[in-house]
Chains A and B, each alone.
Chain A
Amino acid sequence: MSRSAASSPYLSLTDADQEAMLEAIGVSSIEDLFREIPEGVRFRGELELEPALPEAELVAHLEELAARNVHTGQELSFLGAGIYDHYVPAIVDAILARGEFLTAYTPYQPEMSQGVLQAIFEYQTVICELTGMDVSNASGYDGTTVAADACFVAKHATGRSKVVLCETLNPQVRQVVKTYAPGFGLEVVEVPHHDGTTDPDELRQAADEAACIIFQQPNFFGCLEPAPELAAAANDAEALPVAHVDPVSLGLLEAPGHYGCALAIGEGQGAGNYQSCGGPHYGFIAMRSDYVRRMPGRIVGETTDLAGERGYVLTLQTREQHIRREKATSNITTNQTLLALAGLVHLSWLGPQGLQEVGETCMALADHAKQQLGLPLLFPDKATFKEFSIRVGRPAEEAIRAARERGVHPGYALKRDYAGMEDALLVCVTEKKTPRDIERLAEVLTEVTG
């Protein structure tokens, strides 16, 4: 072989190493290492990939691609709809850059991984505190797949196969549940909204013979659902109430575990993670201890070592695929630990008061925006948190386009998911916005709707 051994900055092999190693193995060449692969399936060409880029050129190439995106630092954006521009503190970046966290894997060998195990234990505690639940796993993929997981838990807990989704649940979440449903043997029923929220009586009827109902608080339109009544309606029908919640709201809004929910799930992005074009983030799933044996994914538990010192291990593992195989509660292996760690760090930085204050600031700014915009609210009678829906009096995409030409992204066009909402815009206001930003949004919306 004439090829030089060192053909990548990521390889340590020298020509002399290669020679010595081939000799130790007892083969004559690299090619000889692959002699057990049948010739008919050997790839004899060269992969049609673009030439290797040295690091500086690689960075320049990626910078060029990144520059063709319009990010929320360039455009005054009021986009939310499930992914939020909350402030991520610098310590999150610093701690996630620690190579030990970044480059470890699932803590199969607890003596090597006490740090990450303890971090997951603390994360599980924070999720339980936020949601009022007994047990949390180490994280799920995102806020959509944990909803499918919750349906699977409910199906096995109740022996029923119907799941009820409120129409005010994020459409992304509903779509994913529907994708999973055939394999899980689930029938999906959706309950329409009335003036932006779910009617408890209608939900009670739909919940008959259902495994679970899933509602979102605050819901996709930004409205506050009558969550305790929805949970009660589900409980009346002996269907498990599942709340899909925004962690950032849980300093102000009651925890689902405190008003009768069986499970609490959600998208964790807003706690600790950048928008990152939608991922990777983390989903959380927490439940009452009654269902712990149906929990998908990893769980960390406390124990002691042989000397009596406190330590942490992966526990209740017989639920999982590597032991229970075809009877496992889920196939999940790799989860979202690093992003969940970001959530833990962010929530530790906020503390209970800080979380409450972020909620209050979001709510105050959003309420201010409602008043300043001078446009009709889609659901004027409903209380909201950090998002609200307005009517712009013309097709929403046109208003968005015109506003973006003025450097403002005014929000999400609800007609993308809801028929008949041609002129409806979902506006999100986080604590990063200022009254001046809202003034600018009002000016621009006046111009483009006027």
Chain B
Amino acid sequence: MKLIFEKSKQGRRAAVVPKPDLPVPDVPEELRRRQLPRLPELAEPEIVRHFTALADRTFGVDTGFYPLGSCTMKHNPRVNERVVALPGFRDLHPLQEEDGSQGALELMWRLQEILAEVCGLHAVSLQPAAGSQGELTGLMLMRAYFADRGEAEQRTTVITADTAHGTNPASVTMAGYQLRKVETDDRGNLDLDDLRAKVDENTAGLMLTNPSTLGLFDEHIQEVAAIFHDAGALLYYDGANLNAVCGISRPGDMGFDIVHINLHKTFSQPHGGGGPGGGPIAVRDMLEPFLPVPAVVRDGERFRLDYDRPKSIGKVRGYCGPFGVFVRSYAFIRAYGPALRRMSEVAVLNANYMLARLKDTFELPFDRLCMHEFVLSARALKREHGITALDVAKRLMDYRFHPPTIYFPLIVPEALMIEPTETEAKETLDAFCEAMLEIAHDAATNPKLLKDAPHHRPVRRLDEVKAAKRAVVRYRFDDHPDLAGEPSQGEALEAHKGA
């Protein structure tokens, strides 16, 4: 398909810009643009067709089942899109005076209260822009908390699990901490012996996802919390998997001191092809003074933004947070009410049902009940038939399913990480399971069918080696290289282990 630049023709345009009958001042000569940027030049019908064609080549939750593990690809209710577009929200300036933004402030305050209740913690900041920024903010809070106690120099390490999302170690480094990794035991829990050996007076805290990225609830979470608290350290809860436990087990009750919540996962902010997200954090009371500014506070019947927090770590993003995300998540939660617990129950029921249907055919590294997601291994298919997790993923596309997350977590070889969410009907779960079983069968009888998959997508498997080596990351107009004319760099490209 052509790029929009290749559809452009000089002189075409869509916009008619108002031109008041006023002189245009000169831009100082040394600051004036010499050559206009080569933006697309099309009339409106062709722009609409171009982006419609791109939409047709994109698969969303609206298109079909999207069991991308760890990403909680649930339905995005359309009423949320309606309310976020109300002019009182959409056309509100973030620096509007407080008497002109009471509705927005009240919504934010209400969302803070809800998230505190769901997490079982005391105070919430809505500021972080996404889960990863929530992580970083949480680690900054640790730093500020220990600095306040005179322990900043002493506490230099943060512990993560070997099953952790890559964001955890990356956030640890960005926050200026040293990383220590703890292993997983043979039930999929944190290895308590390894943990005890690594927690000491230099430990600032733990970052943990619970249920873990294996979809398993840590059976020793109380002992884990005690180990850290006894050492004077803090516990950080990566809320990536909060969809499993709303109303069932609260991070605060598990012993966590800081939690980030992915509003785009658990609370249905649409994923938008890669964003936006929202990553509020909830904390225990002793950490509240350090939360980012602004906080939304209530004074009687009035709401205001509070910047007067001397111990705050400061601002982590502009203005008062990703407000549109708050509107959607607030609407989502209000549509459930206390039945939010039911959302998590159904998510866990759906995952366990699929697990039960698949675990005799695919290897299950930890044979337990799962929470909202589970991890299978295609190791046996690889050993016996040369079929990898990647091949399984590509073949699923031919059934019009989005593949699960693959090759993660790193401790499971040929991992297939499946998260159905509460959204899916039993018929969909059954159809997916039947496709998986058929693929396992075809792996033995017709492996080429899998190796050559997908067969029914707009493109075949793509040459990622060529992409990385040639690094063509923008259209270069007349100088654009013809990659099709260059030989393929690699063959079927498999995600390699060893990262």
Contact with A along B396-419 (1 / 0, CB 8 A): 010000110100100000000000
Partner of B325, one of A103, A279, A305, A331: A279
Question: How far, in angstroms, from A161 to B301 measured CA to CA in the complex?
Answer: 47
B449 an interface residue at 8 Å Cβ cutoff? no
Instruction: Report if A83-B319 is in contact (Cβ < 8 Å); known contacts: A63-B86, A135-B473, A277-B94.
Output: yes
Instruction: Report if A102-B174 is in contact (Cβ < 8 Å); known contacts: A176-B316, A311-B462.
Output: no
If A9-B335, A100-B63, A126-B39 are given as contacts, then 11 extra A-B residue pairs at C-beta distance below 8 Å, sorted by A number, are A25-B352, A25-B355, A49-B336, A68-B103, A115-B56, A144-B317, A279-B317, A279-B323, A335-B276, A337-B275, A383-B27
Asked if A301 and B461 make an inter-chain contact with CB atoms under 8 angstroms apart, the answer reads no
- Could you say which residues of chain A place their CB within 8 Å of the CB of B253? 41, 43
Question: How far, in angstroms, from A194 to B258 measured CA to CA in the complex?
Answer: 44
Partner of B129, one of A49, A142, A274, A301: A142
* Closest B residue, CB atoms, query A127: B474
Contact with B along A83-101 (1 / 0, CB 8 A): 1010001010111011111
Contact with B along A295-330 (1 / 0, CB 8 A): 000111111111111111101110011111111101
* Closest A residue, CB atoms, query B19: A361
A380 an interface residue at 8 Å Cβ cutoff? no
Q: Return 11 A-B CB contacts under 8 Å, by A number.
A: A13-B426, A69-B100, A105-B271, A124-B474, A125-B475, A254-B33, A279-B129, A279-B324, A302-B467, A328-B166, A334-B131
* Closest A residue, CB atoms, query B225: A41
Partner of B249, one of A42, A68, A130, A267: A42
Interface positions, chain B 87-124, Cβ under 8 Å from A, are 87-97, 99-104, 106-107, 114, 117-118, 120
Asked if A351 and B101 make an inter-chain contact with CB atoms under 8 angstroms apart, the answer reads no
Asked if A352 and B96 make an inter-chain contact with CB atoms under 8 angstroms apart, the answer reads no
- Could you say which residues of chain A place their CB within 8 Å of the CB of B74? 10
Nearest 5 Cβ contacts at the A-B interface: A66-B88, A338-B272, A278-B319, A278-B94, A99-B62
- Could you say which residues of chain A place their CB within 8 Å of the CB of B21? 435
Asked if B170 and A325 make an inter-chain contact with CB atoms under 8 angstroms apart, the answer reads yes
A393 an interface residue at 8 Å Cβ cutoff? no
**Stretch among A202-210, A234-242, A340-348, A442-450 lining the B interface:** A340-348
Partner of B484, one of A50, A100, A304, A317: A304
Asked if B81 and A97 make an inter-chain contact with CB atoms under 8 angstroms apart, the answer reads yes
Partner of B62, one of A103, A345, A355: A103
Contact with A along B305-339 (1 / 0, CB 8 A): 00000000111111111111101000101111111
A357 an interface residue at 8 Å Cβ cutoff? yes
B contacts with A: majority SS:
loop
From residue A57, how far is it (CB to closest CB) to chain B in Å?
9
Asked if B314 and A68 make an inter-chain contact with CB atoms under 8 angstroms apart, the answer reads no
A253 an interface residue at 8 Å Cβ cutoff? yes
* Closest A residue, CB atoms, query B476: A125
* Closest B residue, CB atoms, query A138: B274
Asked if B336 and A8 make an inter-chain contact with CB atoms under 8 angstroms apart, the answer reads yes
B340 an interface residue at 8 Å Cβ cutoff? yes
Question: How far, in angstroms, from A318 to B76 measured CA to CA in the complex?
Answer: 32
- Could you say which residues of chain A place their CB within 8 Å of the CB of B341? 46-47
- Could you say which residues of chain B place their CB within 8 Å of the CB of A228? 30-31
Question: How far, in angstroms, from A71 to B85 measured CA to CA in the complex?
Answer: 12
B199 an interface residue at 8 Å Cβ cutoff? no
- Could you say which residues of chain A place their CB within 8 Å of the CB of B41? 351-352
- Could you say which residues of chain A place their CB within 8 Å of the CB of B40? 122, 126, 347-348, 351
Interface positions, chain A 375-430, Cβ under 8 Å from B, are 383, 400-401, 404, 409, 412
